[in-house]
Structure 1
């Protein structure tokens, strides 16, 4: 935005300091003058006769007052300029850091020294913002690289299948069509997952009262055939858990969690536990499952887009690597948190904590 040039803040502060000092000096001189007029007699009796003092007092006081005001003006301008520069030096550092960030350098930090004050608080908040922006930019770069890789894979497979079919016309067309259909389906699933993730990050959805316990039951009923096919048991329990958000997104979040718990479970006789609970200001959805033992290091990475744990690609319901990333984004879009911890006996313990709906919203 183009703006007309104006006075600098330092000059404005200098003029303000000098002006305040001049006003204070003028008031002080006025008080002295009133004092002199009140307590110094206008006419006195001298050996030479009656003599008027006021004209002499005016002639003596006026040059002295003018000199004092001139001194106060110079002192206010010089001292105000120095004082304003000292006070604004932290702001100059913040401005410099802001310009570096605007030019793309997110690694710069202010690291302001000194005791806690308004400038120190602003600098610390700016440093924290730069740290979050740097982490977000790095995450977006990794996401773009991984998404490009994941999208390139089905395209490359499709190209290979078409090349083989072209070079070998006698090859079974039915097998080729089946493999192309499978690869194309995974590419569509990946594209839809990327679109959903983008929609969640933009938070372009309507908020309404949602009962997490009903959402959990709906997701369980949808995925129950898959669990039965794998010989798994799903146990649901808990209280009515009223939240505020998008029913479709919260259902997608819960479905992803339950699907993840089913797919990454024991080969047989595994269990999935789904519970909901209500606390003072939050509602909690918990999904646990049996499975292989997971290290804390692995658990800390599987929420990243396209990060898959042991055995996640080779299963017939492996997904596209965005399930838990979508869960995390949906939870954050609803001002909630996602916590993953490995279970001691194997498997994963996932907790989603969301703000509880106000009483009037649940009526």
Structure 2
């Protein structure tokens, strides 16, 4: 936005300090003048004794008062310029940091010294914002790179299959169509997952009162055939847990968690526990499963996009690598908190804590 140039804040403060000092000086001189006038007559008759009258007082007091006011003006300008510069020094550092951030440098921090005051709070808030922006920017760069890789893979496979079919006209087209169908399905699943992730990040969804316990039962019932096929058991329990949010997104969140608990479980005789509970001003969904022991390093990356619990090895149950990333995004969009914990006996425990619905919150408090 183009704006007309104006006075700097430092110059405005300097003029304000000088003006205030001048007003105070004029008022002080006015008080002195009025006090002296009370004891000096307007005119004295000629006499042998020389006593100053009011005209003599004016002649003696006027020049000195003018000189004093000029001195106060100079003192106010110089002192105001120095004081305003010292006061605005933190603001200059914040301005320089903002310019660096606008130019794309998000690694710079202000680190303002001194005791806590308004400028210190502003600088700390700005540093926190820069840290979050830097982390978000790095996450988006990793996401863009991984998404490009994941989207390129099915396209490259499709191109290879088509090249082979074109060079070998005697090849069975049924097998080719089947493989192309599989690759295309994975590409569609990946695209839909990316769209869902983007939708939850933008928080562009309608909110209503939903019950997490009913959503958990629906997700468990939907995925029960997959669990039985793998020889696993799903156990659901818990209380009514009303919250405010999007039913489709929360169902997607719960389905992702239960599906992840099924496919990353033991080969047989495994268990998945789905539980809902109530806490003060919050409702909690917990999905826990048996499985292999996870390393702390792997646990930190599970919610990153395109990260899989079994690495990047593709198996029959390898998803698109966005399951827990979508869970994290949906949780954040609902102002919730996601916690991942390793089970000592092996497996994973995922806890999603969401704000309770107002009615439940009023009863619990």
Verify same fold: TM over 0.5: yes
Shift of 1:287: 0.4
Alignment of 1:309 with 2:309, yes or no, is yes
Q: 2:301 is paired with a residue of what secondary structure? A: coil
Shift of 1:229: 1.1
For residues 204-251 of structure 1, the C-alpha deviation after alignment (integer angstroms, 9 at most, x for no partner) is: 111111111111111111111111111111111111111111111111
Counterpart in the other structure of 1:131: 131
Q: 1:159 is paired with a residue of what secondary structure? A: helix
Counterpart in the other structure of 1:108: 108
Contact 1:43 1:50 in 2 (8 A): no
CA distance in 2, matches of 1:160, 1:15: 75
Mark the CA change 1:311 to 1:128 in structure 2 (over 3 Å): closer, same or farther: closer
Counterpart in the other structure of 2:87: 87
Shift of 1:172: 1.0
Alignment of 1:73 with 2:59, yes or no, is no
Counterpart in the other structure of 2:15: 15
Alignment of 1:118 with 2:112, yes or no, is no
Q: 1:98 is paired with a residue of what secondary structure? A: helix
Counterpart in the other structure of 1:176: 176
Contact 1:45 1:51 in 2 (8 A): no
CA distance in 2, matches of 1:320, 1:299: 18
Shift of 1:71: 0.7
Shift of 1:314: 3.7
Counterpart in the other structure of 2:265: 265
Contact 2:242 2:360 in 1 (8 A): no
Contact 1:276 1:283 in 2 (8 A): yes
Aligned residues: 363
CA distance in 2, matches of 1:250, 1:362: 23
CA RMSD after TM alignment: 1.9
Q: TM-score, normalised by structure 1?
A: 0.95
User: Mind listing any 5+ residue stretches in structure 1 that lack a counterpart?
Assistant: none
CA distance in 1, matches of 2:281, 2:312: 36
Q: 1:300 is paired with a residue of what secondary structure? A: helix
For residues 334-355 of structure 1, the C-alpha deviation after alignment (integer angstroms, 9 at most, x for no partner) is: 1111110110011000000111
Counterpart in the other structure of 2:152: 152
CA distance in 1, matches of 2:41, 2:222: 104
For residues 157-178 of structure 1, the C-alpha deviation after alignment (integer angstroms, 9 at most, x for no partner) is: 1111111111111111111111
Contact 1:209 1:361 in 2 (8 A): no
Shift of 1:361: 9.5
Mark the CA change 1:40 to 1:239 in structure 2 (over 3 Å): closer, same or farther: farther
Shift of 1:103: 0.6
Q: TM-score, normalised by structure 2?
A: 0.95
Mark the CA change 1:314 to 1:357 in structure 2 (over 3 Å): closer, same or farther: same
User: Mind listing any 5+ residue stretches in structure 2 that lack a counterpart?
Assistant: none
For residues 131-190 of structure 1, the C-alpha deviation after alignment (integer angstroms, 9 at most, x for no partner) is: 111111111111001000001111111111111111111111111111100000000000
Shift of 1:272: 0.6
